[in-house]
A and B are shown apart, each in its own frame.
Chain A
Amino acid sequence: MFEKIKYKSIVLSSIIFVLCFAYNASAANIQADAEIVGNITVTETTALDFGQFSSGVSAGTVTFSTSGVISSSTIDIVLLGGEINGIANLDTTGAGAGPLVTVTINGATLTGPGVMPFQANCEGPAGVPGLLDTPCTFLSAGGTANIIIGGVLNVGADQPPGSYAGFITVTAEF
Chain B
Amino acid sequence: MNKNLCLRLSIVLLVAGLLHIAPSGARAAPGPATFTEIQPLVFGLIVPGAAGGTLTVDDTGAVSVTGTATYLGGASNAQVLINSCLGSTARQIVLTTGPLSGPGANLVMTQLTCTSPGNTSRNNRCSNFAGTAGNDILLIGGTISIPAGQTNGVYTGTFNIVGNNNPACP
Enumerate chain A interface residues (CB-CB to B < 8 A). Answer: 2-3, 6, 9-10, 12-14, 16-17, 19-39, 94-96, 98-99, 173-174
Contact = CB atoms under 8 A, between A and B. Distances in A.
Contact of B32 (A13, A25, A34): A25
Interface size class of B (residues with CB under 8 A): 35 or more
A110 B140 CA distance: 57
Given A24-B33, A37-B47, 5 more contacts: A9-B6, A23-B164, A26-B34, A29-B160, A35-B44
Contacts of B16: 17, 20
Contacts of A21: 17, 20, 168
A32 B34 contact: no
A34 B107 contact: yes
B52 to A, nearest CB: 10
8 contacts: A6-B3, A6-B10, A26-B33, A32-B78, A34-B154, A94-B152, A96-B73, A99-B45
Interface of B: 3, 6-7, 9-11, 13-14, 16-18, 20-21, 31-37, 40-49, 55, 70, 72-74, 78, 80, 92, 98, 100, 102, 104, 107, 109, 140, 142, 144, 146, 150-166, 168-169
A128 B71 CA distance: 25
Contacts of A174: 47, 70, 72
A49 to B, nearest CB: 33
Majority-rule SS of B interface residues: strand
A10 B159 contact: no
A96 to B, nearest CB: 6
Nearest to B10: A9
Looking at B20, B45, B144, B166, which has the most chain A CB atoms within 10 Å of its CB? Answer: B45
A35 B45 contact: yes
Nearest to B55: A34
Contacts of B41: 30-33
A30 B78 CA distance: 8
A140 to B, nearest CB: 8
Contacts of A30: 35, 37, 40-41, 78, 80, 140, 158-161
A103 B156 CA distance: 32
A33 B42 contact: yes
B45 A37 contact: yes
B144 A34 contact: yes
A98 B44 CA distance: 13
Interface pairs A-B: 3 shortest CB-CB:
A31-B40, A24-B32, A34-B43
A6 B33 contact: no
A74 B29 CA distance: 90
B7 A9 contact: yes
